[in-house]
Amino acid sequence: MTRVVAWSLAAAAALCVVGDTLVVSAYDSLWSSDTWGIHGWPLVDVAGLGCSVLGAVIVTAYPRHPIGWLLVLVGVTTSMSLLLESYSTWVLDHGGPASTSTGRMAAWGALALGGPFALTVLGLIFLTVPDGQLLSRRWRPVAWVTCVGYGLSLVGLALIPPEDIVSKADATAGFSVGELLSSVGILLTAGALLAAVASMVIRLRRSHDEARQQLRWVVTAAIFVALALTAILLDQSLSDDGSQSPVTSIPLYVSYVALIASIAISVLRFRLYDLDLIISRAVVLACATAFVTIAYVLLVVSVGERLDGDDESFGLSLAITAIVALAFQPLRRWVVRLADRAAYGHRAQPYDALSAFSRRAGAGSAPDELLPAVAEAAGLAGSALQSTARLDLPDGTTRSATWTPRAARRETPGDWIELPVKDQSGPLGMIRVLMPAARTLRPQEERLARDITDQAAVAFRNTRLEVALASQVEQLDRRTEELAASRGRLIRASDSERHRLELAISDEVLTRLRQLRAEVAGVPPTGPTPEQAAGFVAAATTALESLRDLTRGLHPTLLTRSGLAAALRAQVGRTPGATLVVAPEALGARWSDQLEAAAYFCCTRAMSLRRPLTVTLRVVPPSGCLEIELEGIALDAAAQQSMLDRVDALHGSLEAGEDRVVIRLPPSPDRSAVPVS
């Protein structure tokens, strides 16, 4: 109900503005000095209409806010006063269609609702802006003086008979008690207004951050009003007949418009009362009203000579109305865009943020491009001080991006609001927005945020799939490189092994055979002695055993016949300083040929380093994994890489320390560790 009342009063103010324009155009030119400088058209009309509309906007969001109701009240009374003043001037001075008594009553009403009342309400607004509360209890007398001043001026006006009211509706005839009371009341009201401006200045000095920016505009305009009012009072007191002049009146009227503009800037730019959607629609209504009013008035004035009451007047009025209505339709979209820009700033037409995000998300799904777009869209949608978008990747890592407004906003940060991003498969990430203090997301912002998270969920899912695919491709590339490197190492190892075998045969077999050949050649014709024959047999046997050991390769006959433990025991017996420890569960166990060959190679490769070494074999339950522990050895890079190649081929693991190496080889699925039958 309160909203209906507020907007009804605003509509009444708009009708009064239209009526005042038509009445003034009926007896005088709209561009004359009297119309602009004395009556105040169109500056005061615009100020009155702006006050009522802005007050209705505030009341719509905050029905009990006193600033809103004061603005509505001063706007509608100012518009009514202007209409009554122009009507009284038309009737009393230009023979308008009414009696003289009616014109005088209109002049009296114009004085009652005019300047003194407007100054009184402005004083109360200055005392209570922006929160509707006085700065302190010590300012209560100023508010009472403001009201008492208007009361005295109203009582004084009531003591003046209507026939003594002059046509201009801005002065009284003669010096009477009524005029004295009115003058005293106006002076009290003006003094209280100046004190109210001082109160605003004090409030401005005590404010901080965004509140200071809000008050700065209002205080500047209020000082302008106070200076203009002082100038017009001095001018009237110094003039002979006490009348006002356009030189001092026009600055006062301009100050009224500047005051409304400053309040509007505080509301729109610095979000004084947080009225985005309401302001948007109010701006649309104000633009439409202004367009229709100006267009209709211009058409009426331009063809006014034809509207003289003949039979064509009504049809011509209908035609003008239709022309104005049709002319506004092409401008409607532009007006709506302008209204949303005024209300939302960078969030003009809130879903522009969503559409912009959709375009950016469609352009690319890489995290470096997607996450900044999501963070920016969420921050703009909620007018946040900061926003962060986080993407949870399949490998457990996260990617994030942070957005902050380009223009520095001096607002106290409040709470973080978290918006989970998820789909049917589960959580995908999170959007967090930092809101100003004592503020949360409004319903339309919540709906927009949900739409953004829904679209972000699809984009996040696609990005996760793309990142997972890129990771798989990277792993495949890395595995390909590793396989190529392993193949190269195997080829080099094979060449090295053949070269080592050639050198070993030359050193350990051929050398003994040459020595044996020389010794045999030195035997006398009678034959060798028994001791010589025994030495020849021993040397030949040693050479044969060395050749047999060298030609066994990686898979000796004992390993195939008796298993890993028996083959290693035989190798340890031929290696000085080597010790073998076999756990009971691994004593007679057998594994696949590939696993036993890899284990045998790793152990013999370590024994070939000629260091004291302890080899321990054990089976790790419950997987049956073969664990080989080599103690007392530090592998060089070549030996470690050769072991690692064979361990990796069986999906095992190798842990190398300073003097300890642990190798784990999982059994093949078709053959676990089983005892030899």
Q: What is the CATH number of the domain that holds 175?
A: 1.20.1070
**Residue 384 forms part of a structural domain:** yes
Same-domain pairing of 256 and 110: yes
Q: Which helix (H) or strand (E) holds 437?
A: none
Please check whether residue 544 lies inside any domain of the structure.
no
**Domain match, 325 and 393 both:** no
**272/258 Cα distance (integer angstroms):** 17
Residues 227, 373 share a domain: no
Instruction: Identify whether residues 207 and 323 lie together within a single domain.
Output: no
The pTM (predicted TM-score) of the whole model is 0.48
Domain assignment present for 479: no
- Order of strands, sheet of 625-631, starting from the edge strand that comes earlier in the sequence: 578-582, 613-620, 625-631, 660-665, 653-656
Question: Mean pLDDT by 10-residue block, N- to C-terminus, for the chain (677 residues)?
Answer: 88 92 88 82 88 86 86 92 91 86 88 88 87 87 92 88 57 63 87 88 78 75 77 66 68 83 71 54 60 60 51 57 63 61 50 59 66 84 86 87 75 85 88 82 79 85 85 87 78 71 78 82 82 82 74 66 86 84 86 87 82 87 88 83 85 88 81 45
Are residues 121 and 53 part of one domain? yes
Report yes or no on 538 lying in a domain: no
Question: Are 233 and 337 in the same domain?
Answer: no
Candidates 318, 328, 259, 323; CA nearest to 290 is 328
pLDDT for res 534: 83
Which residue, 315, 348, 381, sits at the end of a domain? Answer: 348
Alpha carbons 194 and 677: distance in angstroms, whole number: 113
* Domain assignment present for 192: yes
Residue 501 forms part of a structural domain: no
- pLDDT of the residue at 651: 87
Residue ending a domain, among 314, 348, 382, is 348
Give yes or no: residues 303 and 376 share one domain: no
- The domain of 207 spans 2-274
> Looking at the structure, do residues 320 and 377 belong to the same domain, yes or no?
no
Same-domain status, 331 and 429: no
Instruction: Sort residue 342 into left (φ over 0), alpha (ψ -120 to 50) or beta.
Output: alpha
- The CATH number linked to 628 is 3.30.565.10
Task: Give the residue from 428, 461, 494 where a domain finishes.
Answer: 461
The separation between the first and the last C-alpha atoms of the chain, rounded to the nearest angstrom, is: 98
- Count structural domains, the chain: 4
Same domain flag for 269 and 218: yes
Q: Are residues 115 and 15 in the same domain?
A: yes
Residue 293 lies in a domain: yes
633 inside domain: yes
Enter the DSSP assignment of 668: B
Whether residues 287 and 366 fall in one domain: no
